[in-house]
Structure 1
């Protein structure tokens, strides 16, 4: 059964393996998540399940969200995420998905919002080289030329320039699960995951 899960990032630390090497790990608190909707090939053209995470009061949701959850008498959940699945035989409306459905040494992909850096220049955002620092130079951290003259007479789309940095959805693939704490809904993943501690993360199995 391949399935995803919603949760939040707790933080990073390091553990030591059997050879005594330090391994950087990220702690994630995942679920439990509630199956709030099931879509099949007949109704929507594909198989998927929708999971809900973190129960809140009704006044924290808008009318569309409340009506959607009342359709199956679901509790009010703040976050909803749809995951495509190969088969629907293991799922039903109202079923709880926990970290117990995952295994140690399993590879997963994790998606989260990266830390926002605000407006950044080309040197910071794209690792541009700086200009001469000697006296009289007026090009220290400027972007330089952004195009030719009359031909082509425009700046091509996708040009690396100054702008907002970070604050985007980033997916890290093939992260290995080092440990699972089912009592606390926690998994330990090898490597780093984008975002600050407390960020909402979405994981799905490979």
Structure 2
């Protein structure tokens, strides 16, 4: 498995050879620096730790400053480990968007947009009271009954109710790479990916 850290720029659309309009997402993918190499002998598993997006040194603690200095790079805002990397890399190596090729498929992971505290209609797709007759003036978006009577005298776990929505890590699989622009570190994938514009994303193949 290979991958990069990137930043979601936004959505646009491209036309294919048949004139069909394809919605797509533009990602700034890399360049990423190898900040640590995990090995089976030392760590018990193999992985590459990648750093992305420069960070001011004064906003980095001494331990991390030494960690990045060992890799011969500046401090990074986003650090992610990707396991089972297909290629062999050394400390300080730089990975670019050229890791991907047009036409291949990738998985993109990111945190979804946080929606805050939401009701059951928005959070779970409830339909509400529908017909709204006979005194239903304030029950249109209510959840309705949530439990039984004196037995079992409780609400079962997992009941769909109001609560915090969004802010979860989500992976969208098998997105086709439509375009790679190495000189601008741009990757264009078909379809949508999680997260707001400028959110960090992890692209893996």
Can you give the 5+ residue segments of structure 2 that lack an aligned partner in the other structure? none
Shift of the alpha carbon at 1:186?
A: 0.3
- Correspondence 1:18 to 2:23: no
- Structure 1 segment 30-45 matched on structure 2, within 5 A: 30-45=29-44
For the 8 Å contact 2:2–2:85, the answer to whether it is kept is no
Deviation string 1:105-162 (CA, Å, 9 cap, x unpaired) is 1111101121222211001110012114224125321111112223333222221110
Deviation string 1:45-90 (CA, Å, 9 cap, x unpaired) is 2110000001122122234433432444442111100000255x62
For the 8 Å contact 1:5–1:30, the answer to whether it is kept is yes
What is residue 56 of structure 1 aligned with on the other side?
55
**How many residue pairs get matched?**
203
Can you give the 5+ residue segments of structure 1 that lack an aligned partner in the other structure? none
Q: Could you state the TM-score of these two structures normalised by the residue count of structure 1?
A: 0.92
SS in 1 for 2:98: helix
Q: Could you state the TM-score of these two structures normalised by the residue count of structure 2?
A: 0.92
Shift of the alpha carbon at 1:164?
A: 1.2
- Correspondence 1:133 to 2:132: yes
Whole-Å Cα distance in 2 between the matches of residues 64 and 149 of structure 1?
58
RMSD: 1.6
Whole-Å Cα distance in 2 between the matches of residues 134 and 169 of structure 1?
41
